[in-house]
Amino acid sequence: MHVFTYHNPTQIFFGKGQINAARRAIPEKNRVLVLYGGGSVKKNNVLDQVRAALNKHTFAEFGGIEPNPSYETLMSAVELARREKSDYILAVGGGSVIDGAKFVAAAVPFKGADPWSIIEKHTPISKALPISCVLTLPGTGTESNGNLVISHKEKGIKLGYYNHLLYPVFAILDPTATYTLPPKQIGNGIVDAFVHVVEQYMNLCENAIVQDRYAESLMRTLIEVGPQTLKHPLDYESRANFMWAANQALNGLIGVGVTQDWSTHGIGHELTALYGLDHGQSLAAILMQNWQINRKAKHAKLLQYAARVWHLPIVDEEAAITEAMAKTAAFFESMGLKTSLKALGVEAAAADIIPERLQQMGFTALGTRGEVTPYVARQILLASLE
């Protein structure tokens, strides 16, 4: 296990009825800007619960943050925040709204000409507005990490960014706020959380016993509750376990002290930027192919995965790995996602365009040890397209 520092500052309010916790958790002196998406929070009453919790606060609202939030839309929210003199951001929605809120929180006090440079050029920031959130779609883990991913529509790119200043102050996780999710988004969320575990787990055997065992328990949990959640949309217990597992998958804990990958996410973001695939779907379409192409380097971990996550007997090592991969693909398919780009009808040219873009952006050494070069990314894409 490598040397590490771990500090996750986000306070979690978990469970039914917790939206009201925002009342006391946000100081009354703050001027709040509430951000939300395309309107799901209006239909399911979540926004009304937030409004009720803030009835002693001064607050403004900004709706219309789209999936894969765009810099362009978010800059309108930045203008509103500046006009309203907002000094606290509360995001109410899924990963896109929360990621967007983090960008707004960084952009409002930014003194430079264009806050996009924070994301693209890593222009340093010394402060951000406090941001908190009410989560309505489990999966991304953004509710308690410092990451964001936003798209610049005009430039046609989707970029990730991390800053410790952007951890939410608190996150409200009320499983009942997710009851209205359509099956497609449940599938996306389960697979996204699963792949977050994979990116931190399917690498080297590094004697990180706690991280490995915890990662395996999160994967087992997602495999168990995913189908239950689809089948019984109003079952509180499966929602609650889904929500908590997805949170734990990307709050930083299982990734400490271990080598990480993130090549599936790197290529996935390109697929979203170019072809509009949902984030979870972009991952499901290339994970198996990524494992297959990097099968030798991941051999020991794939074997551990086959034995501990799928409980397969290890008689023939290669056969066990092949079966574990087939079971993973079947799990993703059972969640309603496709496991190849061919099945999604993505154009064959993707195998040329995406490696070229990765090269241009300098993403030339993704993967556990930098082995996913643009050339290897091409092999992965070709395998998924054939």
Q: Which residues bind Zn ion (CB under 5 A)?
A: 192
144 lies in the binding site for ligand NZQ (CB under 6 A): no
Residues 174-203 that bind ligand NZQ (CB under 6 A): 177-178, 180-181, 185, 188-189, 192
Contacts of 172 (CB under 8 A, 6+ apart): 13, 18, 19, 21, 22, 132, 133, 134, 135
Residue 298 Cβ vs ligand NZQ, minimum distance, rounded to whole Å = 20
CB-wise, 41 or 171, nearer to ligand NZQ? 41
Residue 16 Cβ vs ligand NZQ, minimum distance, rounded to whole Å = 14
Residue 146 has what DSSP assignment?
S
Rounded CA separation 242/262 (Å): 22
99 lies in the binding site for ligand NZQ (CB under 6 A): yes
Contacts of 132 (CB under 8 A, 6+ apart): 22, 25, 26, 88, 89, 90, 91, 168, 169, 170, 171, 172
Among Zn ion, ligand NZQ, none, residue 39 binds (CB under 5-8 Å by kind): ligand NZQ
Residue 139 Cβ vs ligand NZQ, minimum distance, rounded to whole Å = 5
93 lies in the binding site for ligand NZQ (CB under 6 A): yes
248 lies in the binding site for ligand NZQ (CB under 6 A): no
Rounded CA separation 159/299 (Å): 30
The number of residues that bind ligand NZQ (CB under 6 A) is: 35
Residue 197 Cβ vs Zn ion, minimum distance, rounded to whole Å = 11
Q: Residue 198 has which token pair?
A: 């994979």
Residue in 50, 42, 62 with CA at minimum distance from that of residue 107: 62
End-to-end CA distance of the chain: 38
Q: Sign of the C-alpha dihedral, residues 81, 84, 88, 94?
A: negative
347 to 386: interface string for ligand NZQ, x by CB under 6 A = ----------------------------------------
38 lies in the binding site for ligand NZQ (CB under 6 A): yes
Rounded CA separation 115/314 (Å): 53
DSSP H or E segment with residue 102: helix 95-107
Among Zn ion, ligand NZQ, none, residue 180 binds (CB under 5-8 Å by kind): ligand NZQ
336 lies in the binding site for ligand NZQ (CB under 6 A): no
141 lies in the binding site for ligand NZQ (CB under 6 A): yes
DSSP H or E segment with residue 286: none
Binding residues vs ligand NZQ (CB under 6 A): 37-41, 44, 67-68, 93-97, 99, 136-137, 139-142, 145, 147-149, 177-178, 180-181, 185, 188-189, 192, 250, 265, 279
